[in-house]
Amino acid sequence: MKLVLSLFIVLSLSNGDEMQRLDSIVKDIENLRVNYDRSQEKLQECEVKLLDEQQKTTLLQTELKSSSSANKENKKYIDKINNLENQIKYIKSILKNKEEEIAKLKLPKQEKKKSQIKVECSLENQINPFPELKMRESAWKSTKATTYRLKQDSAIYSDINGKKIGKWEKLTSFTSTLAVEGWVKISGYFVDKKWQKAKKSMWVKAANALKRD
């Protein structure tokens, strides 16, 4: 009887230990689940932060690429500007040399002109063997540019008493800087109210022309 009682006590004690062990295992499992859930939440937060950082990194890389390309473009423009400045300096040096050459060429012409003036002065002091020719030259009158208008339909000549080369209508306007007795030389004329220089010798009789105010 004592043996049975002692065996029962031993079995009950062993069952109690197993129950406690099971309870502790269940508690551990619950704690692990709680920790697991917390770890999952933290993991999700870390993943969100990681995505955010990746996006920032991508934006920074894009900005770096654009800034590097902009720097390359700026360098190209700077190189072009430097090349243009060098070309301008080269052209200025060429112009300066040309101006110096032109100045050197002008000097002998001026000396030649002075010698011509001396010759003309000496000729004026001499007696003119052709007085009729001098009187004829005095008939030429060089004047300031004057505007004329035709009083009637008039013939246009190539020279004084020259060949007839055309005919202008009445009220046609033209300019002249040279007049001879009975004739006016046409230096320019108007086309659509715009003045054009005469490209060839043209004369009109003074009787057909009227000065404009």
Q: Is the pTM of this model over 0.85?
A: no
211 forms bridges with which residues in the sheet?
148
Q: Which two tokens stand for residue 121?
A: 């002065």
Q: Which residues of 111-125 are buried (b: 16+ CB within 10 A; e: fewer)?
A: eeeeeeeeeeeeeee
pLDDT at 8 over 60: no
Q: What is the pLDDT of residues 128-183, one digit of tens each?
A: 444 444 434 445 556 678 899 999 999 999 999 999 999 999 999 999 988 888 99
Q: What is the pLDDT of residues 14-64, one digit of tens each?
A: 566 667 777 777 777 887 778 778 878 888 887 888 888 888 888 888 887
Q: How many CB atoms lie within 10 A of CB 202?
A: 22
Q: Are 194 and 177 in contact (CB under 8 A)?
A: no
